[in-house]
Amino acid sequence: LNWTTLELPADEVHQLGLAEVGRIRAQMLEIMRQVGFEGELAEFFTYVRNNPENYYPNTEAGRAEYIREATALIEGIYDIADDYFNVLPKAPLEVRRVEPWREAGSSTAFYNRPSPDGSRPGIYYINQQNMNAVQKHIMNSLAYHEGAPGHHFQLAIQQELQGLPQFRLYGSYSAYSEGWALYSERLAFEAGLYEGMPMRDFGRLSEEMKRAVRLVVDSGMHAMQWPLEKSIAYMTDNTPMAPADIQRQIERYYVWPGQALSYKVGMQKILELRQQAKEALGEKFDIRRFHDVVLKNGAMPLQILDEVMRQDIEAVKGE
């Protein structure tokens, strides 16, 4: 409950994870066949991990090219944002390299919110210490998750809201914020931003698969007594992640029960609420208003988001 902000039994989380892993695997297989790879999905994972074309050169030129492309991806979101959002953040967003002095202790990518006084923009950071650890095929999803319309839209809009108590402008719930960021990856796909890029779409699915696998292994370890080895094997079988990264991920879930569940649970709840709104409102459904309801009330537990969305559906019906 602390991480998901929903009343979800462990076996229900586990079954959701198994179902999502199965669904995403089927879509991965479709892309594998689309690009003409012959073999098993596990072999395709190995190919993706080892394909040199999936990495920028481990040089200053390679690092600069990554930043340029990531910036272009962010700009592409802003080009279509008015079709999906009524309100955009006032604060700008920049893509930057993690400073060399803190690369060793930083994750692959992360977001820093803008300063409230406007003196610092929102910043999408990329760790470029070793470009052989930064795969091209996931860079779209990283940009949409950590940058726009993911964490930047949610966090910058939240602290720019008027009429809320100060603590509401900066508070957070992992299932809400990480759920929105993962939903943003899907939204970019739905907006057509992956068209003609099957391997980037495979990367999107890989990132979603990582979050789906978390549902299985987190509940497996903490409710079903799975040993670490079983969790590592399950993640290896279902993602193209590097072995060392899998090891780190599983160890993180082992000592931090429930946190890893928040991403996919939050995304699924937002998608569920969107589908409910579509069915209830029919032609009155407006994706921009839906996103307003999610973003313009600040961070909240998913149970409260459910209630707020139901109230808005009734309000639209009455208009």
List Cβ neighbours of 252 (8 Å cut-off, separation of 6 or more). 259, 260
Q: Is the pLDDT of residue 124 over 90?
A: yes
List Cβ neighbours of 285 (8 Å cut-off, separation of 6 or more). 277, 278
Cα–Cα distance list, 152 to 19, 78, 111, 173, 294 (Å)? 30, 12, 7, 15, 14
pLDDT digit string (tens) for 12-45?
999 999 999 999 999 999 999 999 999 999 999 9
Q: Is the pLDDT of residue 172 over 80?
A: yes
Count of beta carbons in the 10 Å neighbourhood of residue 196: 7
Token duo for residue 26? 């089927």
Give me the mean pLDDT over the 233-247 stretch: 91
Q: Is the pLDDT of residue 108 over 80?
A: yes
Cα–Cα distance list, 167 to 48, 115, 170, 183 (Å)? 44, 15, 6, 25
- Number of DSSP helices (H) and strands (E) in the chain, helices first: 13, 3
Which stretches of 191-295 are DSSP H helices? 198-223, 228-238, 243-255, 262-281, 287-295
Given pLDDT bands bounded at 50, 70 and 90, which one contains residue 5?
very high
Give me the mean pLDDT over the 127-149 stretch: 95
C-alpha neighbours within 13 Å on the C-beta side of residue 107 = 10
